[in-house]
Amino acid sequence: MTELPDRRLLLVHAHPDDESINNGATMARYAAEGAHVTLVTCTLGERGEVIPPELRHLSGAALGGHRLGELRDAMRALGVADVRLLGGAGRYCDSGMMGLSDNDDPGCFWQADVDQAAGLLAEVIGEVRPQVLVTYDDHGGYGHPDHIQAHRVAMRAVELAADSGWDIPKIYWNRVPRSVAEESFARLHQDLPGLPFDKAADVDDVPGVVPDEQVTTAIDGTAQAAAKAAAMRAHATQITVAEPYFVLSNLLAQPLFTTEYYELVRGERPETRENDLFAGVAVGEAS
Ligand SMILES: CC(=O)N[C@H]1[C@@H](O[C@@H]2[C@H](O)[C@H](O)[C@@H](O)[C@H](O)[C@H]2O)O[C@H](CO)[C@@H](O)[C@@H]1O
Ligand SMILES: [Zn+2]
């Protein structure tokens, strides 16, 4: 196995675009600092809506293939080279929004055997030996079945990897402090008349909003703002950016955060908010 850098970060996401929305600045920052950043995406987003009219002919596997290309472009913008599809491209397909009959598709991620999928992810953990893992909370941030399943598979993979002696010292869930969300939306409502968007989303449409005290970690990605915006723009079927805001296909404007927030759910909880995902980790030796 080629020698990997001392610091190794693994992120587990549901669809192409989630990684840039939630962690684009964090990924760009650690990649620029020489850490090894590995992204595992669990589906190709085959059931997504498509924003640009000229691409609306895309659906199913064709959309999935297109979104894989968007993902590669986005990762190029962030400087992230290690990008993997869980079980290989197309192994698990997009499950659609919660409650749709799409959720019953036997090939979709929501129907996956969690232990089997977690076994595939544990193999990546054994190869990369990350000290830090980032994924969603148990609600998947906003209740999408693929996000909930990504959480379940990631947390189960951590257990399976530990059974093989591959411990991950620090595990984080994506978060946004409520005060930051509320301040950002107050500013958005002031800016909305000058934006190319007609409506704003609500604070509670933002995945992972929690009381401020639940947030243990803030990663200042101000220096990576352009890279994050470029990565989000690469996901053109899903996202339209007008910095410092963006819309998804619902065309509801929301803040594009360049400071990205996390809750440490495994590891020694810091007494004050930390500013480094690797804080306290003995980097260098494999975990
Ligand atoms: C950010 C994210 O997880 N996007 C998912 C989501 O897409 C949303 C969905 O199409 C919804 O109906 C729209 O109103 C919303 O604007 C979209 O962001 O679900 C898709 C289908 O599972 C998925 O492909 C997309 O990546
Ligand atoms: Zn998603």
The 10s digit of each residue's pLDDT in 191-222 is 999 999 999 999 999 999 999 999 999 999 99
What mean pLDDT do residues 248-260 have? 98
Per-residue pLDDT, averaged over 3-12, amounts to 93
DSSP-derived letter for residue 108 is: B
Residue 217 to residues 88, 171, 188, 220: CA-CA distances in angstroms? 32, 12, 24, 10
pLDDT digits (tens, 9 = 90+) for 79-114: 999 999 999 999 999 999 999 999 999 999 999 999
- Quote the tokens at residue 89: 């491209």
Query: Ligand 1, closest atom to CA 18?
Result: 1
Per DSSP, what are the bridge partners of residue 11? 39, 134
Q: How many CB atoms lie within 10 A of CB 164?
A: 11
Q: Give first-to-last CA distance, the chain, whole Å.
A: 15
Q: Is the pLDDT of residue 285 over 60?
A: no
Residue 53, both tokens: 């009219």
Contact between residue 234 and residue 224 where contact means Cβ atoms under 8 Å apart: no
Window from 205-209, 210-214, 269-273, 280-284 with minimum mean pLDDT: 280-284
Q: Is 15 in the pocket of ligand 1 (CB under 6 A)?
A: yes
Convert the pLDDT of each residue in 28-46 to its tens digit. Answer: 999 999 999 999 999 999 9
pLDDT at 5 over 90: no
Please say if the pLDDT value at position 166 is more than 90: yes
pLDDT at 197: 98
pTM of the model: 0.98
Question: What values do phi and psi take at 206, rounded to 5?
Answer: -80, 125
User: How is residue 134 annotated by DSSP?
Assistant: E
> What angle separates helix 18-32 from helix 225-234, to the nearest 10 degrees?
140
> What atom of ligand 1 comes closest to residue 15's alpha carbon?
26
Q: Is 97 in the pocket of ligand 1 (CB under 6 A)?
A: yes
Cα distance between residue 267 and residue 172, in whole Å: 9
Nearest CA to ligand 1 atom 20: 48
3: confidence class by pLDDT, cuts 50, 70, 90: confident
Q: In the chain, where are the structural domains located? A: 8-266
Ligand 1 neighbour 150 (Cβ under 6 A): no
Separation of CA 33 and ligand 1 centre (Å): 32
Q: Which residues contact 76 (CB under 8 A, 6 or more apart)?
A: 234
Q: Does residue 249 have its Cβ closer than 6 Å to ligand 1?
A: yes
| In this structure, CATH architecture of domain 8-266 | 3-Layer(aba) Sandwich (3.40)
Q: What is the pLDDT of residue 160?
A: 98
Site of tokens 């930051």: 180
**Position 207, amino acid:** P
Q: 48: Cβ below 6 Å to ligand 1?
A: yes
pLDDT at residue 284 in the model = 64
pLDDT of residue 2: 65
pLDDT higher than 70, residue 6: yes
Report the nearest atom of ligand 1 relative to the CA of 21. 1
Share of the chain above pLDDT 90, in %: 96
Distance, in Å, from the CA atom of 236 to the CA atom of 52, rounded to the nearest integer, reads 7
Ligand 1: residue of 249, 254, 256 to mutate (most ligand atoms within 8 A of CB) is 249
Task: Supply 213's token pair.
Answer: 């005290």
pLDDT of 183 reads 98
C-alpha span between 71 and 16 (Å, rounded): 6
Q: Which residues are annotated as a binding site for Zn(2+)?
A: 15, 18, 147
Q: pLDDT grade, residue 287 (50/70/90)?
A: low
pLDDT band at 283 (very low <50, low <70, confident <90, very high): confident
